[in-house]
Structure 1
Amino acid sequence: MKRLTHRFSCIAVIMMMSIALVHAQDADAFHETGRSFMRQGDFPSALQAFDKALELKPDDIDILKDKAFVFYLQRDFANTIDLCKKITARQDADAQSFQILGLAYKAIAETKESEKMYKQALTRFPKSGALNCDYGEFLSSTNPAEGIKYWERGIEADPNYSGNYYFATKYYAQKGNIIWGLLYGEIFVNIESLSKRTEEIKNILYGGYKKLFDDISILDNSKQSTSTFEKQVAINLGNLTSFGRYDVSPEMLTALRTRFILNWYNNEDSKKINFHLFEYQRDLLREGYFDAYNQWLIGPLTDSQRYTQWVQQHGDDVKGFQQYQRNQLFKMPVGQYYRH
């Protein structure tokens, strides 16, 4: 009798597990359907699918976050805020939950609650590149000097989140800090290489190099920097005496930056400093794609007709660089942040 009872108990457990598994699979199917509707811009259908999923998995945080984001996309900010407050109160809430709440607060210009929320979020997720970026943007509307602190923290903690480089590049370009405007800008376009923001930052890079070509003394402050890295970059750039004698072009950029990379890795002081952007440029040189890279970087901005001709004449180089760019994804390692 005991054996029979035990057998029935086992069967019941297996049946319950099977039912739970089916429900989980159904919930996942409804969730994915909702995401598909969301990508298509059919927000009412997305919400219906998410609600179906939540009937089966009512506490699933990923489904709840997606539902909150659809509310935001529909400009239903009251429901976004209400749902996100419930999500962020949970122990398993992630940084993205706070991001969505921040977007809703921004949409209704709720500064007091935004301030409170970002401080709470960064207490829980101090190394979130996205939250540091968003809070920096929030602060920069009234005090850019406060905003840059959080963009720098984001870069240090999460070096492959592109948003912090985007805002930091614009900040340093406006402040005339040529070194960090150029470095952060080039890192940004390599991490986020296909967006509207990419073209914006390429324009800033081109403008930065024009300033450098016009007046090499713009490096003087950086040569006195307490940051060993910044000082070495400024000194190595300053030693390239061709600056100021020619206009900015991809060809001149290739020539000068080739010399910079060779000097950097032949100098006992600078070659000890690891910096992936310079390593990437050296690899491009070795592979024979550095010219194509510099054309990609500023070619269309200097002379669009000349760039088009160059592309037509160097089709193999362009294809080779594009393939290299796809295969060698640019990633900044943790630990290569240099204070300044």
Structure 2
Amino acid sequence: MKYILTLFLLAALTANAQQQSVSEMQQTARTLLQKGDFDNATVMLERARKQDPTNLELMRDLSYVSYLKRDFAKAMEAGKELVEHPNADAQAFQLLGLTYKATAAYKECGKLYRTGLRKFPNSGVLYNEYGELFALENELDEAITQWEKGIENDPTYSGNYYNAALYHARNNNWIRAVLYGELFLNLESYTARTQDVKNQLLTAWRNMLTPSTLQQLKNAKATSAFERAVLDQLSKTMQGSKGTGSIDDLIAVRTKFIEEWMKNDAKTYPFHLFNHQQYLIKQNTFGAYNYWLFSSGADMYQLWQKQHEKEAADFTAFQQSRVFKLPAGEYYFSK
């Protein structure tokens, strides 16, 4: 019976496809894809391609659905054709790269990303994927080099911040872990990856804010002049801190830091994250922002919200109404 129903569905799709335009067939395929019906989505896409064989979007969709159904041979065939298209974009290289990774064709994948980056030298997604390829091969020094390039060349793409923040936290580079972690959480506020970063961000701040660690970070060869300026100001700020490691104490430290930074260093190093924090302080929502940032468990933040309803509501309204965008030219992490 199941076989008969499948044949009936395919027959219906075939009859309907004859009356549909290419765009209608593509939309039908995408609806089927959303429902997890990869086989029939593939049927629709292939029929659409017969009518419009050079359609870039159809190539992309066919490559993606083939990858999802783990038909890697077809995904690779469509992906290779896709990257050769005269209007191929960075996402085309990303899709084919996913198939190469899934089949452990790492050498071909690396060559693909290098080709893609020559064509799209400011593509954050390709730097991120290339970094993840190096990580798969346990070449972590090469991986972080690519993630840093991605942050520098495409500051609005969140994936490089995610990987770089976790990398630097594992290597005790707390200054970069906290800055990249907070930037990531503003760029990608509510995804499964958000919790990964929240779980390490408060610990990273606590690890950093000790006199010996601050000094050690300032003296590290990899520390840039910008990071050293941040660490210097934090050292001064910590002189009057209670040092309990609580979120409330951290809010006080971060508030004082921003006040002093804006007076002394903001002109030398314009940095959108610090401007964002200053705005929240002026709007009396910096406390809510910090509890949202550092509460790794939902229960903790919800408890704080109940005790600070107006501030929490104001911050939620602000967060829902804005898009956090980073300007180019604020990469200060090279020596």
Short-chain TM bin: 0.7 to 0.9
Out of 63, 70, 91, the residue aligned to residue 68 of structure 1 is 63
Encode CA deviations 1:97-126: one digit per residue, 9 max, x unaligned: 111111111111111211221221112112
- Tell whether 2:252 aligns with 1:255: yes
Alignment of 1:138-217 (within 5 A): 138-141=133-136, 142-213=138-209, 215-217=210-212
- Equivalent residue, structure 1, for 2:225: 228
Find the partner of 2:26 among 23, 26, 31: 31
1:244 shift after superposition: 7.4
Q: 1:137 aligns with which of 122, 132, 137?
A: 132
Does residue 338 (structure 1) correspond to residue 335 (structure 2)? The answer is no
Partner Cα separation in structure 2 for residue 59 and residue 159 of structure 1:
33
State how far apart, in whole Å, the 2-side matches of 1:69 and 1:305 are.
Answer: 38
Larger Rg: 1
Does the CA-based 8 Å contact 2:292-2:301 persist in structure 1? no
Matched, 1:59 2:54: yes
* Cα pair 1:232 1:270 within 8 Å, conserved: no
Q: Is the counterpart of residue 45 in structure 1 residue 40 in structure 2?
A: yes
Superposition map of 1:295-306 within 5 A: 295-301=291-297
TM-score, normalised on structure 2?
A: 0.88
**CA drift at 1:221:** 4.0
Q: Distance in 1 between matches of 2:53 and 2:156?
A: 34
Matches within 5 A, 1:288-299: 288-299=284-295
Looking at structure 1, the residues matched to 22 and 161 of structure 2 have their Cα atoms a distance apart, in angstroms, of 38
Question: Following superposition of structure 1 onto structure 2, how do residues 83-94 of structure 1 map, counting pairs within 5 Å?
Answer: 83-94=78-89
CA distance in 1, matches of 2:238, 2:270: 25
Q: What's 2:274 paired with?
A: 278
3-state SS of the aligned residue for 2:295?
helix
Aligned to 1:312: 306
Partner of 1:100: 95
Verify the 8 A CA contact 1:242 1:256 in the aligned structure 2: no
**Unmatched tracts of structure 1, length 5 or more:** 1-22
For 1:331 and 1:253, how far apart are their aligned partners in 2? Answer: 25
Question: Residues of 1 paired with 2:73 and 2:139: CA distance?
Answer: 28
Q: Distance in 1 between matches of 2:290 and 2:211?
A: 20
Matched residue, 2:107: 112
Shift of 1:313: 1.9
Which AA in structure 1 matches 2:56?
A: I
Aligned-residue RMSD, C-alpha = 2.0
Contact 1:216 1:243 in 2 (8 A): no
Unpaired segments ≥5 residues, structure 2: 1-17
* Whole-Å separation in 1 of the counterparts to 2:300 and 2:188: 25
CA 1:279–1:250 in 2, change beyond 3 Å: closer, same or farther? same
Contact 1:127 1:157 in 2 (8 A): yes
Deviates more, 1:202-211 or 1:221-230: 221-230
Distance (whole Å) between structure 1 residues aligned to residue 240 and residue 154 of structure 2:
34
Aligned residue for 2:21, secondary structure, equals helix
Residue 315 of structure 2 corresponds to: 321
Whichever residue aligns with residue 307 of structure 2, its letter is Q
Q: Which consecutive segments of 4 or more residues in structure 1 shift more than 6 A?
A: none
Is the alpha carbon distance of 1:323 and 1:157 closer, same or farther for their aligned partners in structure 2, counting shifts above 3 Å?
same
Shift of 1:316: 2.3
Superposition deviation, residue 230 in structure 1: 1.0
